[in-house]
Copies of this chain bind each other. A is one copy, B any other.
Amino acid sequence: MNKIIIDRNKNMPLYLQVYNQIKKFIENGSLSGGYKLPTIRSLAKDLGVNNITVINAYKLLEENGYVYTKVGSGTYVCEGIKKEEEIDENFSLIDQGEIPVKRGVINFASSSLNPELFPVDVFGDLINRVLKRDRGYAFEYQDTRGYKLLRESIKEFVKKYEISTSIDTIQVISGGQQGIDVVSKALINFEDSIIVERPTYSWALASFKSRGAEILEVELDKDGVDAEELEEKLKKFKPKFIYLIPNFHNPTGIVYSEDKKRKVVELAEKYETYVLEDDFASDLSFVEEKILPLKAYDKYDRVIYIKSFSKVYMPGLRLGFIIAPERLVSSFLKAKYVTDLSTSGLMQRAFDLYLRENIWEKHIKELKEVIKRRFEKMGKELQTLKNYLEFEKPKGGFYYWLKIKNNISAKNLYSKCLEKNLLIVPGDMFFAIKKETNFVRVSFASCELDEIDKGIDILKEVLKGQSNENGIYLPII
């Protein structure tokens, strides 16, 4: 094993220093699966630390899925943890929009609506009204916080989510991903800890990692993150924030219960940290019950609320907003400035009218009808595959999250489907600690009903074929 360096002047408990370094050795491949770690006593002696330091480090490695213990034998590195390079390869291959989608391929991977659903004429008119009204001012640098009238419109718009705020805490951004990036820039310093759900949105992980953050996963139950595990990790790691997708979670489709939402806010307050709430789809509910963002429960000003207009309205707009806790407003402003100075004025002004004149209401109503039909259709078809797949019907959003029975790996299923011109997303990429999984995500966002039919047929064909073939089964991980 590489040398572990203990720095007693560092403001980090010793067991965490040991943990972090062994974790890195595993992630960069210098310790591979099956490797036996030194005994507790010998490592403690080598490092000049107490046994308890090493015990705590090993325990944490085990909790986070990096090592396992064989009783009476020792501690071993887990199999199947992917190296950084392999992850990168995955990223460039598979994520949304980044797979070169060939003509004729049925796209169950997309997270955006098909372009026929965008209200082009309506928006074109708004743009022309703005050009006529504001002339060159629409093309100037805008206030970095965002065009004032748009912030006013947003303030009114979020009342439908039972969020009340002032325009001073609203920061306009060029889409949800930029929101995550701006928050990361403002809050994450090298080696800070961040807590995420297991699984979660992969490009949020990429943004946190790019800032040098230590990512910690907490298990996701059916009603939201495991509160006990969350509290334990909050206590232990003092993270900069907790990144959550409380409604129509990506990739699992889960909605947090009201109780869980309240609990999360309480924990953030108790441990003096923040929750970064990524709301990309709360407008796309297919049930009667009222589903509110976490921010609506935020009585302590601990929730950083990011709302993207891209997914549900038009991706090409590149528009969204952050509602920031008051303490964080100015650091977000500076981060936004460093990121791209300001968001396109023309788009902001046109979107202001779109909100201000309630044009979005009609649009979202029509859209929901179309998407709901796709959602029901896909659900119905997937029911016929219950021999091969387990899944819960989500309450909204874009995705079904499928567990493949018989331990067929997601990557295999992905490849076989692609051969037959169906694109799905292997679950592997939604985990901070990369392992092969038997989960896949399928989306109905951009598919017409007949495409859903065809896609499910392909999936069925592949699943049937797979379970008869040999050599494609994987050990349970």
Contact = CB atoms under 8 A, between A and B. Distances in A.
A2 to B, nearest CB: 9
A431 interface: no
Interface residues of A, number: 67
Interface stretch (A3-11, A55-63, A256-264, A267-275): A3-11
B316 A139 contact: yes
B131 A120 contact: yes
A176 to B, nearest CB: 9
Nearest to A110: B141
A338 B206 contact: yes
Contacts of A138: 120, 316
A344 B330 contact: no
Contacts of A114: 136
Which among A3, A136, A210 has the highest number of chain B CB atoms within 10 Å?
Answer: A136
Contacts of A92: 330, 333-334
Nearest to A115: B136
Contacts of A178: 339-340
Nearest to A95: B337
A351 to B, nearest CB: 12
A387 interface: no
B96 A117 contact: no
A118 B337 CA distance: 23
Contact of A118 (B136, B212, B347): B136
Contacts of A206: 334, 337-338
Given A7-B5, A339-B181, A341-B175, A136 B112 contact: no
Interface string A119-140: 0100110011001000111111
A342 interface: yes
Contact of A212 (B3, B97, B190, B207): B190
A177 interface: yes
Contact of A338 (B3, B9, B181): B181
Nearest to A340: B178
A3 B346 CA distance: 53
Nearest to A207: B338
Contacts of A112: 140-141
Q: How many copies does the complex hold?
A: 2
A233 to B, nearest CB: 23
Contact of A131 (B124, B131, B175): B124
A115 B133 CA distance: 13
Given A212-B190, A318-B344, A339-B339, A140 B120 contact: no
Contacts of A135: 115-116, 118, 120
A364 interface: no
Contacts of A88: 334
A395 B3 CA distance: 56
Interface in A71-100: 88, 91-92, 95-98
Given A3-B9, A175-B340, A178-B339, A116 B136 contact: yes
A51 interface: no
A314 interface: yes
Contacts of A339: 177-178, 181, 339
Contact of A127 (B127, B190, B315): B127
B91 A117 contact: no
A398 to B, nearest CB: 14
A151 to B, nearest CB: 16
A349 to B, nearest CB: 9
A33 interface: no
A316 B334 contact: no
Contact of A181 (B7, B142, B340): B340
A9 B47 CA distance: 14
Nearest to A348: B316
Given A5-B9, A88-B334, 15 more contacts: A91-B334, A92-B334, A96-B141, A97-B341, A112-B141, A115-B137, A115-B139, A120-B136, A120-B139, A139-B314, A139-B316, A140-B316, A174-B174, A177-B337, A212-B212
29 contacts: A5-B9, A88-B334, A92-B333, A92-B334, A95-B337, A96-B141, A97-B144, A98-B144, A98-B337, A114-B136, A115-B137, A118-B135, A118-B136, A120-B135, A124-B127, A138-B316, A139-B314, A141-B315, A174-B174, A174-B318, A174-B344, A175-B341, A178-B340, A185-B210, A212-B212, A317-B344, A318-B340, A340-B340, A346-B347
